[in-house]
Amino acid sequence: ATDEAAIAAELAADPSATGREGAARCRAALPTAEAKAAAWHAMFGDDTLSNYLFTATAQGFWQPGQDELLVPYVDRFYPDATALAARRGPAIAEAAGRHAFPAYAIDPESLATGTRALKDPALTPALHRKLVDQLDDLRRALAVRTTEH
């Protein structure tokens, strides 16, 4: 329901930390391949986002109804989050595990990918702990969706 011009105008009107977080969240939520690629790179590729801007970007990234745009990022999450956690430490690992986790991808393949990722020896303890919790929630959501009523 918005575009880059509207986001930029709102950011100009409110250049505070809260305004920057809102702009990051909105930019990551835009339903374009370019917006998703830019948000992913900002989160996992360039290491300049503050923890607050990382969280805001991650919160905007996974949006309902954008499955076609988001599917390629589900498998990328685990190796990219593992590398990010190793580079930037436990606080960003926790933020990645909590906010950048592909929680919308409630399917057996996503669960299997995540379960395999838990065996990666490069996984930091902070990210491992968060992924265990997220995958448990994913397992429960999958069970609810597949249970016959």
Indicate the burial class of 121 (C-beta count within 10 angstroms; 0-12, 13-18, 19 or more). Answer: exposed
Q: What is the pLDDT of residue 147?
A: 83
For 75-91, how does the pLDDT look when each residue is reduced to its tens digit (9 = 90+)?
A: 999 999 999 999 999 99
Q: What is the pTM of this model?
A: 0.91
Q: What is the pLDDT of residue 110?
A: 94
Rounded mean pLDDT, 33-56: 96
Rounded mean pLDDT, 94-99: 97
Share of residues in the chain with pLDDT > 90 (%): 92
In the chain, where are the structural domains located? 4-146
Q: What is the pLDDT of residue 149?
A: 58
For 19-34, how does the pLDDT look when each residue is reduced to its tens digit (9 = 90+)?
A: 999 999 999 999 999 9
Cα 100-28-95 angle, rounded to 5 deg: 25
Q: What is the pLDDT of residue 29?
A: 96
Share of residues in the chain with pLDDT > 70 (%): 99
Q: CA 58 to CA 54: how far, in whole Å? A: 6
For 107-143, how does the pLDDT look when each residue is reduced to its tens digit (9 = 90+)?
A: 999 999 999 999 999 999 999 999 999 999 999 999 9
